Amino acid sequence: MIEAFRAGIDIHARTASEVFGVPLDQMDSETRRRAKAINFGIIYGISAFGLARQLGISRGEASDYITAYFKNFPGIKDYMERIKVSAREDGFVETLFGRRIHISGFSGGNQAMRGFAERQAINAPIQGSAADIIKRAMIRIPAALKAAGLSATMLLQVHDELIFEAPEAEAEATTALITSVMENAADPVLTLAVPIVAEAGIADSWADAH
């Protein structure tokens, strides 16, 4: 996966190639869609039942997909097991920046509650680190815009996306600056194994900018 990110390869297509044995140059949209569901589902601790329902396939087939995924990416399985143990013992997990996220429910008698706690433990460091990165970018952007003499206004954050309003004449320069700030938001605290890539769009509306 690290190699794929470094090479700029579509990570869902790469996953599909590994799990389903389909060459990248023969990848179809449906196979990629299934791999994307697995990639995102895994970090939420998805079960074979949940994946089967999401993809409209049998539970056995979904179970085979998950097994193949972990066989090809054993480090992810190791991470999931390690973080569950750590969260159970410490009562919290940490983002890459050291921010603690407290997890409860491991000691409850309800299996559903324990399962939810495990899924939280797996997901929180990933989603939490992403949140930390975009918040660091948001903090830096106003000063960067001011220093560059640009008048864009940050309007909204939507998950990993930032929406700005800017004069049309400044749109290109503003986009270049914001993209740079977002892609370097983890510096200098972290040296990541993969690049952060920010994609930008310019249009008269948020919908058209996608």
pLDDT, tens digit (0-9, with 9 covering 90-100), for 125-147: 999 999 999 999 999 999 999 99
| Domains of the chain and CATH, by start | 1-72 (no CATH), 132-209 (3.30.70.370)
How high is the pLDDT of residue 210?
A: 83
The pLDDT of residue 96: 95
As a whole number of angstroms, the distance between CA 22 and CA 115 comes to: 33
How does pLDDT run across 62-78, given as a tens digit for each residue?
899 889 889 888 999 99
pLDDT of 129 reads 96
**Does residue 88 register a pLDDT over 80?**
yes
How far apart are the C-alpha atoms of 159 and 166, rounded to whole Å?
21
CA distance 77 to 122: 10
Mean pLDDT of the chain: 92
What is the distance between the alpha carbons of residues 18 and 24, in angstroms, rounded to a whole number? 9
